[in-house]
Structure 1
């Protein structure tokens, strides 16, 4: 039976539990494997504008990916929440100055920023993701709102979107809301998988 929108809270709980079932050693190994797959796939090239994020403690760490992007000469941008009520954020070039937002996530305090549509590649966190590229996040909707322009463009769609996850976070179907934005690919410890983004 296909899950409905009313099942999303339960899905979040089960996916969160599955992710927390991974040990720190397992999460670190997955993070290294993910960076290796992206390097082998030549996803990170000099001067590419890459949107990344700093992982929460129970997420797959992004430090290996961040180090790889910088080593390959990418221009890395990290998200900073601009308005909590409107769920808006921008991508900021990291400096040596940081602050924690209300969710406890470190954000860069610099002023060198880009709107999401000027990025070439954006890596997204997720609790779960399905083969169509439907992504289930924590529920605030910051990424979906920042990337909403992709839902209305037929030719140029802006940055390629890749979900960073563990294999245990992949499920058959995620019920979508109207404003949800699908990703183009999923990267896990098993490799990079393009999504069937246009599937029903």
Structure 2
């Protein structure tokens, strides 16, 4: 493992520990606040990409319920085992109808679309810096997906997570792209990004 990869691995471990260390009351309050902060994104018939929280990731349950009630169309990432670029499939109102799992993420049946067909994409993260650069799980799925839509009409990209996941600066590579916004329990934070 190279030195930068080792550094990212240690940072991921540290930030996951920060996230896991939130006491239950603080986590519940922060989760409710973040979900409420995201309500402004909900519009009838808009296609919104969400994610299925795994482990200590921020859960979007309240946002998902509100979006379904308000008539938005929700989509979950669909992982094709032969490529890193994500597809998105409709998230049914009753999530127990999963067709299968990939890395603990339910894979739902239905017509697949690419990220550029979404109006909004909520992007999970392990960490984010004060410039909007994100540290993901390390699989490269979101990085690859965002790279493919770099020169297209893009959905509104919003990183979501807890405030404890933000760091001053992350080491970046050529393929890394900053997110224009991050939403935590402290509210919205907008970054100056160039695409």
Instruction: Please point out which of 70, 86, 89 is paired with 2:86.
Output: 89
Q: CA–CA distance in 2 between the matches of 1:102 and 1:160?
A: 26
Aligned position for 1:63: 61
Aligned position for 1:26: 26
Shift of 1:149: 2.7
1:158-187, CA deviations, whole angstroms, 9 ceiling, x for partnerless residues? Answer: 111111110100111111222223211000
Structure-2 change in CA distance of 1:150 and 1:195 (3 Å): farther
Instruction: Give the aligned CA root-mean-square deviation in angstroms.
Output: 2.1
Structure-2 change in CA distance of 1:14 and 1:36 (3 Å): same
1:33-83, CA deviations, whole angstroms, 9 ceiling, x for partnerless residues? Answer: 0121122xx221111110001101311111111112212221111111112
Aligned length: 190
Aligned position for 1:115: 114
- Could you list the structure 1 runs, at least 4 aligned residues long, displaced by more than 4 angstroms after superposition: 3-6
Aligned position for 2:177: 181
8 A contact 2:52–2:105 mirrored in 1: yes
Q: Give the secondary structure class of the aligned counterpart of 2:41.
A: coil
8 A contact 2:123–2:158 mirrored in 1: yes
8 A contact 2:122–2:159 mirrored in 1: yes
Shift of 1:141: 0.7
Q: CA–CA distance in 2 between the matches of 1:13 and 1:102?
A: 22
8 A contact 1:37–1:191 mirrored in 2: yes
Residues 1:172 and 2:168 aligned together: yes
Where does the alignment leave 5 or more consecutive residues of structure 2 unmatched? none
1:11-39, CA deviations, whole angstroms, 9 ceiling, x for partnerless residues? Answer: 11111110110134332222210121122
TM-score (norm 1): 0.86
8 A contact 1:30–1:60 mirrored in 2: no
Structure-2 change in CA distance of 1:182 and 1:157 (3 Å): farther
Aligned position for 1:196: 192
Q: Give the secondary structure class of the aligned counterpart of 1:16.
A: helix
Aligned position for 2:146: 147
Q: Give the secondary structure class of the aligned counterpart of 1:92.
A: strand
Residues 1:76 and 2:74 aligned together: yes
Q: CA–CA distance in 1 between the matches of 2:192 and 2:130?
A: 6
8 A contact 1:162–1:183 mirrored in 2: yes
TM-score (norm 2): 0.88
